[in-house]
């Protein structure tokens, strides 16, 4: 998925918090070699799209989660009225909720299981051996980008 061809129905969150970083009107958290592997969109609860590399060079990408629907029986989308999590046999790889104030709070992302060097918890985001916390990003297309995973 590319930044200029996002899925129908995707709504950019007005505010999203991940690892003490605040994203205001930021379309995507992560871009790898021109591809958007993860989208967390706005809705009554967070709406997730997750694409994984289909080849070792990252030229082809496969949709693993499409608008909170799993395309693989080993990966589950679970949650309640305000939360969404992506679960595998190894545990949750994404956990987020929409708070009463409308902010989407991302408490966990671990994309290492799908071959991407991106991890976030409640305190920070770790991407490509760098740690980010306490930052604010506003009105940009992508928070983090890399030429390759």
pLDDT recorded at residue 60:
85
Break the chain into its structural domains and give their ranges. 15-132
pLDDT recorded at residue 54:
87
- By the 10 Å C-beta count (0-12 exposed, 13-18 middle, 19+ buried), 36 is classed as buried
Model confidence pLDDT, tens digit, residues 11-70: 999 999 999 999 999 999 999 989 999 999 999 999 999 999 888 777 889 999 999 999
Neighbours of 84 (CB within 10 A): 22
pLDDT recorded at residue 121:
96
pLDDT recorded at residue 148:
56
Q: How far apart are CA 57 and CA 125, in angstroms?
A: 24
Host H or E run for residue 37: strand 35-41
Q: How far apart are CA 93 and CA 136, in angstroms?
A: 24
pLDDT recorded at residue 115:
85
2 vs 57, more confident: 2
Neighbours of 135 (CB within 10 A): 13
Q: What residues are paired with 59 via a beta bridge?
A: none
Furthest-apart CA pair in the chain: how many Å?
Answer: 41
CA dist list (Å): 89 to 15, 34, 59, 73, 136: 31, 29, 27, 11, 33
């Amino acid at each position: 998925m590319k930044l200029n061809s996002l899925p129908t129905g995707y709504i950019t969150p007005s505010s999203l918090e991940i690892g003490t970083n605040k994203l205001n009107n930021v379309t995507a958290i992560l871009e790898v070699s021109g591809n958007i592997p993860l989208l967390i969109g706005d809705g009554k609860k967070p709406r997730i799209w997750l694409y994984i590399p289909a080849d070792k060079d990252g030229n082809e990408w496969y949709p693993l989660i499409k608008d909170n629907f799993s395309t693989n029986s080993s990966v589950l989308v679970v949650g309640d009225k305000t939360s969404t999590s992506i679960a595998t046999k190894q545990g949750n790889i994404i956990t987020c909720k929409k708070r009463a104030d409308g902010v989407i709070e991302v408490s966990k992302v671990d994309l290492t299981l799908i071959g991407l060097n991106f991890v976030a918890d409640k305190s920070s985001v770790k991407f490509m051996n760098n740690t980010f916390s306490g930052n604010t990003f506003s009105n940009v297309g992508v928070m983090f980008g890399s030429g390759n995973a």
